[in-house]
Copies of this chain bind each other. A is one copy, B any other.
């Protein structure tokens, strides 16, 4: 009977793998059991954020030693999902997800995880239906690996997806293939959007007939309430991690989610906490806060420039990118609820929840 293990370790800088290696050295997890590592790194989370690549390179090198394989093959076995941007008070950290097989236990459900990868995309596929469909297929694969039959048991799907750079755009142009956008920053949004619609398609949240190249990034009414996509310069494929509660899994962890309707939707976080049995008033007390293993949320500025009717300046700020403001805001709201700042708030929530809002999922230790 499998168990999904989850460990949160702080980092001192983007290349700091000491926390992960101590988990392995101390026997908390075996290197071969690790299926995914989520990371918040302290870059700008935008086009020229190389902290993601640095973290991936450091993790691949370190895990290669522990796994007895090459750095390149680490990436083929473990989904490394680095999300840049720790604005406001967010604390850089890694979330290690592992699968361990153990003896059968009677009844109940527990946290379950499954992963899958698409093939590498050519630049011209990014932000288009080819990426939507490949992502949907990968989500189905990952669900099967997690033993989840019912889409309702899926509470969070993380995708790491590529972006366009000037070099990639020109490489495609040299082959006569126009790309979805020539604005490299905009390409991050289209790639995240296509990935999220792929998740929504796999989970039955949108109808395939409503989807098209033109709908990506435009039809804000189409979204997944459980999708999280992060774009990074360091890969050309989509990496998918499905998290849910499933029978046949053991262990003390469970996951719940809600959809934040805007960036200050404290009630959504309290709702997810209530689903996991936590009291709903104010900020969690230290003991309860200590049982929260992860909060995973998406942040995005609303396109109408308003939060509950009041103007925000995210979209008009040419010094700080809008996603950086949004991460800072949602990070503050989430920290207000949880009482800690090592939270996985990632930016760019295109088709991931309603405009200006986004999914929030919480993993907690709900039994001993």
Contacts and interface: CB of A to CB of B under 8 A. Distances in A.
A312 B86 contact: yes
A312 B92 CA distance: 7
A320 B42 CA distance: 12
Interface in A279-308: 280-283, 303-305, 307-308
Contacts of A336: 264, 266, 332-333, 336-337
A142 B233 CA distance: 39
Nearest to A284: B266
B282 A316 contact: no
A282 B167 CA distance: 32
A263 B53 CA distance: 30
Among A14, A264, A317, the most chain B Cβ lie within 10 Å of the Cβ of A264
Interface in A40-69: 42-44, 46-51, 53-54, 57-58, 61
A282 B321 CA distance: 30
A13 interface: yes
30 contacts: A11-B311, A12-B167, A13-B165, A13-B233, A46-B319, A47-B318, A61-B61, A86-B312, A86-B313, A91-B312, A92-B311, A92-B313, A93-B310, A166-B304, A166-B305, A166-B311, A166-B315, A170-B304, A264-B341, A267-B283, A280-B281, A280-B282, A308-B341, A320-B324, A329-B331, A329-B332, A330-B332, A332-B336, A333-B333, A333-B336
A276 to B, nearest CB: 16
B341 A15 contact: no
A270 interface: yes
Q: What's the interface size class on A, roughly?
A: 35 or more
Contacts of A190: none
A181 to B, nearest CB: 11
Given A283-B266, A332-B333, A48 B42 contact: yes
Contacts of A47: 316-318
A307 B91 contact: yes
Nearest to A301: B89
A87 interface: yes
Contacts of A318: 44, 46-49, 185, 321
Among A165, A270, A316, the most chain B Cβ lie within 10 Å of the Cβ of A316
Nearest to A319: B319
B341 A307 contact: yes
Among A47, A57, A270, A332, the most chain B Cβ lie within 10 Å of the Cβ of A332
A145 interface: no
A329 B324 CA distance: 12
A339 interface: yes
Contacts of A282: 266-267, 270, 280-282
Nearest to A184: B316
A342 interface: yes
Given A46-B318, A320-B320, A91 B10 contact: no
A178 interface: no
Contacts of A310: 10, 91, 93, 340-342
A335 B336 CA distance: 9
A342 B307 CA distance: 10
A182 interface: yes
A259 to B, nearest CB: 16
Contacts of A15: 50, 53, 57
